[in-house]
Amino acid sequence: MIKKVYLDYQATVPIRPEVLQRMNDVSTDIGNPNSTHSFGRKNAATIYNAKNVLADFLGVSSKDIFFTSGATESIEIALLGVVKKILPNLPKKDWNIITTPIEHKAVLNTIAEIISDHPNIQVRYLQLDQEGQIKPESLEALIDEHTLLVSVMYANNEIGTIFPIRKLGKIIRLHRSKHKSDYPVFHTDATQSLMYLNSKVDYLGVDMMTFSAHKIGGPLGIGALYVSPDAPTMRIRNGNPKESFFSRGTTSPTLVAGFARAIELISKLEIEKTVHLQRHLWSKLSNFPGILLNGPAIGEHRLPCNLNISTGIPALEMLLRLDLEGVAVSAGSACSSRSIDPSHVISAIYDDHSRVHSALRISFGYATTIEELDFFVKILSNNNIS
């Protein structure tokens, strides 16, 4: 008899036992990693080794990886750093930033902050189709010599859309070489894709990449930022080289060691297992006549860990019914204990009130079983969705 089923992996992936083991192993090593003595040096070596694991995974130099408290902080540093660096050296004209309307709020809120501080910067949105996908050519239509920054997520956290980052990277590089310019800088939020997609920086052609450990089975409270050494961005604060945006205070060896261990555990086999889970779940749900699939069709343009469905029953009501039965899924964003704001992602794609207000995200991963998915399906059918 199943008691509790966690299907909210895209909010946070349960920490992996191997990660906990690694964190436990290093957590008793005393000493500030910035200290010169042998205690400090041991912890500094733990950080150095962890950075190398991340650098290898992305195919970059460890000098270009910076630890943060999570993807939100990485994104703020990445986007604000570019504007702070480039804008003061440019003539007072109208500039623009290109993004999509379905980025995570960490990106959209940072861009909103930039625009409110700089009224001469406008935001341009890439157009989405009915599956929440963009066409690379739509970037060609928007980009011009006044584009400072392009920020497009690698994969969406609500509907799992995989964006064509490599193609966008090629367009941006071509544009820069045509205009002999070092901008627009290209940033991708890879928080949801890290576990499932090719994350090599050279392959993607990005200048900045941001991500977080807790979305891959690592600990909460640690993220990272990759910045190309050629990207024009502000690395130091207040003009003081000792105060860097990229290294804030003392890094935790325990957290970074856990992060690196989670990276090491990413495996093809597990990706295949997740693909199987997704297919299984959709084969059951697609038999329910009332259910609509939100986002791309199951396949190469959708993350394997995600399904997003509209049931016709208000999302909060459904979420609570499932929760009472021990099943955790997610819907929109909780704005107070009693209401849920409809998801900005679903609202950006569908002009259908019932679909938008009844959307549920089901996300799963390494520890999910077929039995758990079947249990979820059974509860759904017991709740008049069939």
Catalytic residue numbers, as ranges: 335
Part of the chain binding ligand PLP (CB under 6 A), chosen from 67-75, 111-119, 319-327, 352-360: 67-75
The strand pairing partners of 91, in sequence order, are: none
Distance CA 362, CA 306 (A): 6
The distance of closest approach from Cβ of residue 89 to ligand PLP in the complex, given in angstroms and rounded to an integer, is 29
Element (H, E) at 363: strand 359-363
Distance CA 149, CA 79 (A): 8
Strand 5-6 relative to strand 327-328, pairing? parallel
The distance of closest approach from Cβ of residue 377 to ligand PLP in the complex, given in angstroms and rounded to an integer, is 25
The nearer residue to ligand PLP, 77 or 327, going by C-beta atoms, is 77
What residue type is assigned to position 214 of the chain? H
Residue 374 and residue 382 in contact, taking contact as beta carbons nearer than 8 Å? no
Residue 151 and residue 110 in contact, taking contact as beta carbons nearer than 8 Å? no
Binding-site member from 96, 100, 110, 157 for ligand PLP (CB under 6 A):
157
* Three state DSSP letters for 303-326: CCCEEEEECCCCHHHHHHHHHHCC
Residue 44 and residue 256 in contact, taking contact as beta carbons nearer than 8 Å? no
Does the footprint of ligand PLP cover residue 161 (CB under 6 A)? no
Does the footprint of ligand PLP cover residue 302 (CB under 6 A)? no
- In the chain, the N- to C-terminal Cα span, in Å, equals 23
Could you give phi then psi for residue 385, rounded to 5 degrees?
-105, 100
Count of CB atoms within 10 A of residue 233's CB? 26
The distance of closest approach from Cβ of residue 331 to ligand PLP in the complex, given in angstroms and rounded to an integer, is 14
Distance CA 167, CA 139 (A): 10
Part of the chain binding ligand PLP (CB under 6 A), chosen from 22-30, 69-77, 126-134, 277-285: 69-77
The nearer residue to ligand PLP, 33 or 223, going by C-beta atoms, is 223
Does the footprint of ligand PLP cover residue 189 (CB under 6 A)? yes
Part of the chain binding ligand PLP (CB under 6 A), chosen from 185-193, 231-239, 315-323, 339-347: 185-193
How far, CA to CA in Å, does 76 sit from each of 69, 194, 237, 254?
Answer: 11, 19, 14, 24
The nearer residue to ligand PLP, 39 or 57, going by C-beta atoms, is 57
Part of the chain binding ligand PLP (CB under 6 A), chosen from 13-21, 40-48, 184-192, 347-355: 184-192
Does the footprint of ligand PLP cover residue 71 (CB under 6 A)? yes
Does the footprint of ligand PLP cover residue 191 (CB under 6 A)? yes
Binding-site member from 81, 160, 223, 258 for ligand PLP (CB under 6 A):
223
Residue 274 and residue 304 in contact, taking contact as beta carbons nearer than 8 Å? yes
Distance CA 305, CA 277 (A): 8
Kindly determine how many residues on this chain lie close enough to bind ligand PLP according to the rule CB under 6 A: 12
Part of the chain binding ligand PLP (CB under 6 A), chosen from 15-23, 68-76, 231-239, 264-272: 68-76
The nearer residue to ligand PLP, 86 or 319, going by C-beta atoms, is 319
Binding-site member from 82, 83, 106, 262 for ligand PLP (CB under 6 A):
106
The distance of closest approach from Cβ of residue 354 to ligand PLP in the complex, given in angstroms and rounded to an integer, is 25
Does the footprint of ligand PLP cover residue 13 (CB under 6 A)? no
Does the footprint of ligand PLP cover residue 70 (CB under 6 A)? yes
What residue type is assigned to position 121 of the chain? I
The distance of closest approach from Cβ of residue 71 to ligand PLP in the complex, given in angstroms and rounded to an integer, is 3
| H-type alpha helices, the chain | 17-27, 38-58, 71-86, 105-117, 136-142, 165-178, 201-204, 253-264, 268-285, 315-324, 344-349, 353-357, 370-382
The distance of closest approach from Cβ of residue 41 to ligand PLP in the complex, given in angstroms and rounded to an integer, is 29
The nearer residue to ligand PLP, 128 or 291, going by C-beta atoms, is 128
The strand pairing partners of 306, in sequence order, are: 363
Site map 76..105 versus ligand PLP, x via CB under 6 A: ----------------------------x-
Q: Which of 76, 54, 57 is nearest to 65 (CA)?
A: 54
Question: Which residues are near ligand PLP by CB under 6 A?
Answer: 70-72, 104, 106, 153, 157, 189, 191-192, 212, 223
